[in-house]
Structures are given as structure tokens and as C-alpha cells.
Amino acid sequence: MSKKSTPTATLLQAAPAPRPWPVTTVFTLLLLAISGGSWWTMRAEPGAAGVFDTHLAEVQARVFPNGTRLKSEWTGNGVADWLLTELAAAFIGGAAGWDHGVRLQQSYLLVHFAAVVGLLGTEACRVTTRVNSQNSTSMWAIVYQLVGGAVICPLYFIAYIWASAGKSYFAEGREIPLSYAKALLPALLLGYLVPTIAMYIPFSDILMTQYMIVVWQFAPVYVNVILFLSSAISPTPSARTAGAAAAAAASSELPRDIQPLKRLYSALFLVSVLYHAGTTITLLLLNNNPQQQQLSFDYVFVASWERRALNSVQALHWVFQWDLYGIFGSSLLWCLLEIYDLRRLLGADEVVGLLSALVFVVLGTGVLGPGAVVAAVLYWREEKLALLETRLQMAGRMKVA
């Protein structure tokens, strides 16, 4: 996504300008459409059509058609126990492997979602958003666990769009405290990916599977807890001091937080690519196997009006499929906005046009997977934000001189 740079020619034009309001408006409306459409397809329409009636009856009875008992006592609080029981019932068809296609789609969604969790965690740690950042990230996490990422993630991106629309957002605050930057990768691995993988381990005891499902519901919060503990153990007020920043700008040295962030994005990219490749190969090998009808591209990834009415597992599969569409539809739209913003701030010599970026996003999603595309854009974006930061500092010194 980069071209041959000519920093000298664009240096004096590096001062950030506010984003044109029509662009902000168009992206906002698109994200609102994704959020509202996801709510309709995941909740309102199927609920009105009675698609979830069987699922709700099973939750009420605390037993599934195959005789499996549904655990209903978790905390001793009636409301919390009902919510956790509902979530356990929603995930169990995939986590327990009752339907191999549902299991594959669920795990695919959640593994690729690690890139979005990484995005949220990184943005929460930036200087411009660090006030109560951990609390706000946990709030977003809890809400999207209950309502659905496809509904909530677009709203998060709308909040970002409006926060970054003015002059000041890109002018300051790119940096992340070094302790946070270093802790993000282990926090994502231990706090999110490990619980995700654990949920799909084929335990012989179905009760253990239900425990793992409930444990996973708080995975994004674990990420924040690990980040908080890490910063408490080794507090670092800034990724670099003002003096170090000036020296880095003069010598083109990368800020100290860039390398740990690159490791984070590279790890997220690798995990997403490997899971996408494994999923693709599995489906290619078994797509026409009459004994594995649950493992076809259509069954796994294409939402079906007919199948959703078959049973509760298929009804929830419908929800997870639309969750995948909405989460990554909004995330990839955000990627396009970031490419647009950095092109207008750095110039056409540094960043490709939106059409080329759109081609990359579409082809990359099919070849590498949506999580990998998000991770790749994050990696590229961090370098460009650092370049913009350096140019602004140099332009500021030239203006003073």
C-alpha cells in the first residue's frame, strides 16, 4: 500500500487538516446501516418469526434434545445466571461439536476476531484515548458479548470516526506507553486466544465445555486486566520522552513502541492466515463428500433461511454467520477510512488510492482472511502514523525557526 516517498516535497504540507464532512457522513451512514441491519437480521426479524422459540424452550427446560443437561447455576445471582446459561446454550452446538459446520464457523469467527480485539486494545492505550481507556474498552467488550459484535463494532467505529474528524486527533497522541505496547501481545494471547482455543477442546465431560464457554465470555476483559497489571508492575508514562522524540524525528529513528506493536500485528496476521488456510483446505477437501455435508462452504459461511428453522443449533448458526458479516464488514470499512485519511495527510506519494485499497481489502479477505487484512492494515498504519508524527514535528520546528 506504499509508493516511493518524497518527504521533502510534502513536508510543509504535513499539518493535519480536518476530514471533509461528506466523507465522515458517508462512512457514518454506512456503519449505521451495518449496525442496524445486523440487529434486524440477528435479533428482530428471526425473533419475530419464532426462529429462537426452540432455543428458548431448551434454555427454560435446562435440557437439550440429546439429553445433555444445561448448567443453570453460576454466580447465585438470578439475572447473571440466566445470561450465562443463555450464552452457554448459544455456543454449545459449536463448542461441543454437535454440528461440525457450526463448530468450524464459530471458531473461525472468534479466532479472526482477535485482530479486532487487538485494534480495540491498541487504540485504548493511545495518549489521546488513555483516560479511563481500560474501563471504556471493557464496557464495549461486555456490550458486544451480550448484543453481538456485528451491532456494537460499527458503533465503536462511528465513535472513532467522529473523534478523529478534527485537526487535533492526528496531530498528537499516536504513541502508546511502552509497558502497554510490550504487554499487548501476551495479553491478547493469554487473555483472548487461549480461552478461545480452550472452548473448542473436545472435553469428554460436557459440563467442562459449558464452563469453558462461560469463561470465554469475559475474554476481552482478561486482556484489559493483563494490560493493567503489566502497567502497574512496570509503569512507563510515555513510549519516549520529549527529548527522545525530537532526536528520533531528526534521525528518522522509529519510536520505541513501534517494534512491540509490529510484533503484535504480525502475530495476529499469522494466526489469522493459518486459521484461514486450515479452514479453506478442510472445506476444499470435504466440500463434495456426501458423508460430510456439514463441511461445505455454503453450509459453514452462507446464512440459510431454510436451515435456521431446523433446530436451535441452526438458529444460532444463523446469528453467528451474520455476526461474522457485520463485524468484519465494519472493520474492513474502517480500514478503508484509515487508508483514505493517511493518503490525504501524507499525500499520494506515500499512500495508494481508495480504489486500489478496496481491491486489496476484497482480495485479501478471500485469500488471507478478514482478520489478516485488519492486522496487515494495522501494521502498515502504525508506520504511517509514525511518519506523520515525524513530519509534523519537523514542520513545527521549521515554522518556529
Q: What integer pLDDT is reported at residue 348 of this predicted model?
A: 83
Model pLDDT, residue 40: 98
First to last CA, the chain: 34
pLDDT (0 to 100) of residue 177: 86
Closest by Cα among 234, 249, 186 to 396:
249
pTM summary value: 0.90
* pLDDT value of position 28: 98
What one-letter code names the amino acid at 26? V
d(CA 227, CA 184): 7
Residue 284 exposure: Cα atoms within 13 Å on the Cβ side: 6
Residue 170 to residue 172: CA distance in whole angstroms: 6
Number of H helices, E strands in the chain: 18, 0
- Residue 237 CB contacts under 8 Å (≥ 6 apart), including other chains: 177
Return the exposure string of 157-177: e unless at least 16 CB atoms fall within 10 Å of the residue's CB, then b.
bbebbeebbeeebbbeebbbb
For the chain, which ranges sit under pLDDT 50?
A: 3-12, 14, 130-135, 236, 238-243, 245-246, 249-250
Using alpha carbons, list the distances in angstroms from residue 323 to 40, 105, 110, 176, 192: 12, 11, 10, 30, 18
| Residue 372, pLDDT score | 98
- The per-residue pLDDT for 242 is 46
Dump pLDDT digits (tens) for 273-322: 999 999 999 999 987 766 678 899 999 999 999 999 999 999 999 999 99
